Chain A
Amino acid sequence: MTAARPLAGLRIADFTWIGAGAFATKIFSDLGADVIKIESRARIDQLRQARPFRDGVPGLNRSGYFADRNSSKRSVTLNLNHPRARELARKLISMSDIVANNFTPGVMEKFGLGYADVVQFKPEIVYLAMSMQGQSGPESRYLGFGLTMGALTGLHNLCGNPDRNPIGTGTNFPDHVPCPTHAAFATLAALRHRRRTGRGQMIDLAQIEPTIALLGPAVLQFTANGQVAQRTGNEREGRAPHGVYPCAGEDRWIAIAASGSAQWQGLLHVFDDDTLAADPRFATDAARWTNREALDQALARLTAHRDGARLMRDLQSAGVPAGMVQHADDLLRHDPQLAHREHWSWLDHPEMGRSVYSALPFRFSASDTAPTSPAPLIGQHTDEVCHDLLGLSSEEIAGLRASGALD
């Protein structure tokens, strides 16, 4: 690990909060950008109040949900209802490459920090606005969270068994992958354009749209073929076996997806079961697909008494795609691959102590990308930024603090 971090030298005036926005700017901060999170005690980032907390004890600086999304950032408190705070925000923006927010349209404008305001004093800014439904339109002011967006986009309805209610992904999925990655990609592309032309621009990302983009084939099933896509549980068209099978122990499962004769022979070799091997219902890919229910039942009987980890290793050795269903404790404490890749970063937080953060899910051959510092305490860097970056004296900072601008 040698070269500078890929985004070193960039600065973001980061007005994002809660889930999707903060995860988008974490990509930048872990990659070396100076991300200055602008918060306020008058309007707390709700994620700071979200479980889990260190030792279960609530506190603004104790949330693991908040911490993981805000690694490598600095925190400044500015009460934007205060005119002096808005002045500082403008000054900070004028020293930044990117402004990011995920408010409902109108909020940044209310503070005089909308795109139209910012280009007046910082024309080359790259301005990322990631509201739920976009900057204009009849439902642009509607609000929601990742889970309600999962419902609105069609994702939630497509996940689950056909004979049961839909179950989605069990998480606020759009917040975690589609929105942060699309926001980061568009912002990086806009930075390239600025580097080549000197011109900034605004990115209007409606959080529901990347998730719909990821459902493309299901959408086309309707727009091209007139069929409304339905839930299929763990079944995938034309593939058998393809599913989740029980293993020994409480709530332990293994995912197996074998296709083609080589993988099927590998599977037979591992299970070493004469009945399965001789059954004409399972002799070819087409036969296995036609008789998939019987095949699933037969496989479930064979997996039910086996240890999931051992069975996974055996199937993988035989070239069969198989993976034990891991929960978070498995991932954190027992997964040898994630340990090898140092996916989990353990950082010493002033109030939470040594605690766990996700590294970005890739490794650069010549740049370090692991998180550099734990999540900031609320307002931890207010004085530092006011002094070092904005050039204010200690007296001026004290005056601002007394006025309430730095709440």
Chain B
Amino acid sequence: MEHAVLQPNTLAEPLPSGTPGALAGLRVIDMTRSCLQYCGKLFAQLGADVLLVEPVDGCDTRHQGPFLDDVPHAERSLAFGYFNQGKRGIAIDLASTEGRQLLRELARDADLLIESESPGTMTRHGLDHDSLSALNPKLVTVSITPFGQTGPYRDYVAEDIVALALGGLLHMAGDPDAAPVAACGNQAYLAGAQFGAVAAMSALLQVESGGSGQQLDVSIQECVSMALENAAQYVDLEGFVRSRNGSRQRQAGSGLFRCADGMVYLMADGIASTRSWDATVQWLIDEDTPEAQTLRDPVWKLPPFLASDEGKQRFETIFLAFSTRRTKAALYAEGQRRRIPICPLNTTADLQVNRQLGHRGFFQETLHPYTGRRIAVPGAPYLLTETPWRMGQPAPRLGEHTSAVLSELGHDQRVQAVWLRAGVIA
């Protein structure tokens, strides 16, 4: 793999002063761990004031790789930096009475609290939604946990792979002759973060229309099950249990195929239609592919044949003779010109030179909080014409804003010094 020198597409431009974020004025307390912190990031980058509350020795995300230059260090986690861009940070020991009181003070002025403690923990600390809403009836609390706040699994412990397993997605990925394989990059917890953000935003709209705050109980297992496509309905309607298909074609003409410099994903069969089939066959014929004429046989319109090993094998033989002489870029360009759904199998390096992402300015630079290094990161996941997404400041160093936030709450610096010495804050 060639390592192109990174050409940053754009540098995040400061917003014209006065451009409001869509979420300007919202105050969010983010007590989550791991990549659940993506939830708070969504709020921060649309303009909310998001305060990350960490334990005094730092949250676990700081210990997650990859690390900058591969040097393991609590201030060098690229995952932490990415998931906490745009937030301020404070470190409080919630095991201490004073620490819990500080959190109550923060909650009194907040619109949203995002937390991911094991069910029951917040109650033990006197920080559960009912206690906090006595101080602030408009507070929305979103609790994101592996299995939810109640039920037989509420005390079960999980990791991403466990949530993928119990949520059903793990069963659907992998080669049929081997063990199921988990999706990369903590997609279960990230699903929890995303649905948590949607739930919270809905409840906040309700509050701002005059409603009361409430607690939102997000189950990561359920979030994973949203990704099962049609598998539950297959069981219910056709009595069929979907399993994993691995890297084989889903049906003839739809799947991953080798080409000269990698692989492409072709969906000649589309979803529930054969509209791209004729265009694909015409392409192969136009390029003088051996045997391509045979793909015009009516048998290729019959679902059972398309699903058969014979159909898949015959298509693959014909298509590989064509694709392995062409690059993924060439197949992508010409296939799409012919309105055929075909895409290259990209690596993370390929993304950096993708001209469409470049056109949109998707990758933007930010500064690494600890080293000051400029790093290109995925930028706006949506473009809003009136209230643009913003990169926001680099993720907080541990306790970076502790003193500023406590001063805002009216605690003078001599008291803060006492708390620092006592380990209540960092």
Contacts and interface: CB of A to CB of B under 8 A. Distances in A.
B171 A216 contact: no
B202 A31 contact: yes
Interface in A68-107: 68
Interface string B173-216: 11100111111110100110011111101111110110110111
B360 A188 contact: no
Interface in B210-264: 211-212, 214-219, 221-223, 225-238, 240-247, 250, 254, 256, 263-264
- Pick the most buried of B42, B218, B222, B349: most chain A CB atoms within 10 A of its CB: B222
A257 B161 contact: yes
B350 interface: yes
Contacts of B190: 177, 214
Interface stretch (B77-85, B92-100, B284-292, B414-422): B77-85
B346 A251 contact: no
Contacts of A156: 256, 265, 345
B386 interface: yes
A320 B157 contact: yes
B276 to A, nearest CB: 9
A234 B205 contact: no
Contacts of B142: 362
B148 A158 contact: no
A6 interface: yes
Contact of A169 (B64, B187, B226): B187
B253 to A, nearest CB: 12
Interface stretch (A285-293, A336-344, A376-384, A386-394): A336-344
Contacts of A243: 161, 179
Interface stretch (A145-153, A271-279, A395-403): A145-153
Interface stretch (B309-317, B336-344, B403-411): B336-344
A176 B185 contact: no
A133 to B, nearest CB: 5
Contacts of B172: 169-171
Contact of B383 (A147, A172, A204, A255): A204
A372 interface: no
Interface in B375-392: 375-378, 380-387
Contact of A160 (B78, B181, B204): B181
Contact of A148 (B180, B343, B377): B343
A320 B23 CA distance: 40
Contacts of A3: 206, 211-212, 214
- Pick the most buried of B162, B206, B272, B381: most chain A CB atoms within 10 A of its CB: B381
Given A151-B344, A209-B381, A228-B348, 8 more contacts: A47-B271, A54-B237, A153-B351, A208-B357, A220-B81, A223-B352, A328-B228, A329-B241
A51 interface: yes
Contacts, number: 522
Contacts of A238: 65
B305 interface: no
A364 B382 contact: no
B345 A206 contact: no
B78 A166 contact: no
Contact of B183 (A49, A145, A173, A191): A173
A254 interface: yes
- Pick the most buried of A155, A172, A217, A332: most chain B CB atoms within 10 A of its CB: A217
A344 B179 CA distance: 28
Given A145-B271, A159-B173, A195-B208, A171 B198 contact: no
Contact of B227 (A153, A173, A327): A173
B205 A191 contact: yes
Nearest to A199: B386
Contact of A147 (B70, B267, B386): B267
User: Ordered nearest first, which 7 A-B pairs have the shortest CB separation?
Assistant: A64-B233, A361-B222, A137-B359, A165-B247, A340-B151, A201-B386, A151-B265
A244 interface: yes
A218 to B, nearest CB: 6
B50 interface: no
A195 B387 CA distance: 13
Given A185-B197, A328-B242, A341 B65 contact: no
A341 B222 contact: yes
B126 interface: no
A112 interface: no
A54 B183 CA distance: 30
- Pick the most buried of A137, A189, A213, A226: most chain B CB atoms within 10 A of its CB: A189
Nearest to A221: B66
A49 B270 CA distance: 12
Contacts of B148: 337, 341, 363
Contact of B360 (A134, A224, A237, A316): A134
